[in-house]
């Protein structure tokens, strides 16, 4: 028997899209996470059940393959399954399909359970993983690390202060917020002229309320295909909170 699969529909609203009428990566992440939360609740192991054990699910990496990002007013189908797991890591997949059944996005992600008090990773309890009917494996699929920024890169940079409304129920910055910070370092002229084809983002360290962070990015210009931007979020003490790379293609049908 394979892992339990869960699907639900969602109509994309205007406030989930950008100036090009395209759903933003941050909003898409919110949608797929909501679908996974609906699955956990349906299986009787929702966030409230996990919290009673002093734990919370935390994502450590997303890898997204994007055929196209849907537009506002489209009705999409969000599908997810917790594919496999081992002692410390769970591998969850997501799919986004349009109304014609065509795949728009495929997401691979790695998750851990974190102790709310110690902020440390702990063994995944059997009672919260078994309802998913996931395959227990020695090694979950390995996701490549994002390309790193180097001292030689010419950086685009923006600073942000973590606000109260950036914090989620786990007590740290909501992961969707990082997508906005990372991409906002790029100029609007680039963002409105390119479509995303892939994302690889790895969360390294927590960012807390009222901290200052710096989003830095660079465009790789030594290769023609694909167009790649490298990014990271730097904390006040110089640590790396998040690393990411985004893959792009030029929009060819602009007026």
Domain-wise residue ranges, the chain = 1-143, 145-255
User: How remote is the C-alpha of 169 from its chain's centroid?
Assistant: 17
Q: What is the mean pLDDT of the chain?
A: 94
Closest CA to 99 of 125, 73, 81: 73
Reported residue count of the chain is: 255
Longest Cα–Cα distance in the chain = 55
Count of helix runs (H) and strand runs (E) in the chain: 5, 12
Are 1-143 and 145-255 equal in CATH topology? yes
Quick one: tokens of 215?
A: 């989003």
| pLDDT score for 255 | 47
Place of tokens 């869960």: 6
Condensed to tens digits (0 to 9), the pLDDT of residues 37-58 reads 999 999 999 999 999 999 999 9
CATH topology of domain 1-143: Thiol Ester Dehydrase; Chain A (3.10.129)
- pTM value? 0.93
Closest CA to 197 of 227, 220, 175: 227
Quick one: tokens of 103?
A: 């795949």
pLDDT level of residue 1 (50, 70, 90 thresholds): low
CATH topology of domain 145-255: Thiol Ester Dehydrase; Chain A (3.10.129)
Continuous segment of H or E residues that includes residue 50: helix 47-51
Taking residue 193's Cβ as centre, other Cβ atoms within 10 Å add up to 14
Q: Are strands 75-85 and 135-136 parallel, antiparallel or unpaired?
A: parallel
| pLDDT score for 2 | 74
């Amino acid at each position: 028997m394979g892992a339990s699969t869960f699907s639900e529909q969602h109509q994309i609203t205007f406030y989930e899209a950008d100036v090009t009428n395209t759903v933003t990566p941050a909003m898409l992440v919110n949608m797929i996470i909501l679908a996974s939360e609906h699955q956990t609740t349906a299986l009787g192991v929702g966030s409230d059940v996990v919290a009673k054990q002093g734990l919370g699910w935390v994502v450590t990496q997303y890898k997204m393959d994007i055929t196209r990002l849907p537009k506002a007013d489209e009705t999409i189908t969000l599908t997810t399954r917790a594919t496999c797991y081992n002692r410390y890591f769970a591998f969850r997949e997501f799919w986004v399909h349009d109304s014609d059944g065509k795949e728009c996005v495929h997401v691979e992600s790695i998750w851990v359970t974190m102790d709310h008090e110690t902020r440390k990773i702990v063994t995944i309890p059997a009672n919260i993983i078994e309802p998913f009917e996931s395959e227990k494996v020695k090694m979950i699929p390995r996701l490549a690390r994002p390309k790193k920024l180097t001292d030689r890169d010419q950086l685009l940079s923006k600073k942000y202060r973590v606000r109260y409304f950036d914090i989620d129920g786990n007590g740290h910055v909501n992961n969707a917020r990082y997508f906005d910070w990372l991409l906002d370092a790029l100029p609007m002229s680039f963002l409105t002229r390119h479509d995303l084809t892939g994302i690889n983002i790895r969360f390294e360290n927590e960012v807390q309320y009222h901290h200052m962070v710096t989003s830095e990015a660079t465009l790789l210009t030594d290769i023609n295909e694909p167009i790649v931007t490298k990014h990271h979020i730097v904390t006040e003490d110089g640590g790396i909170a998040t690393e990411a790379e985004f893959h792009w293609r030029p929009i060819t049908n602009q007026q």
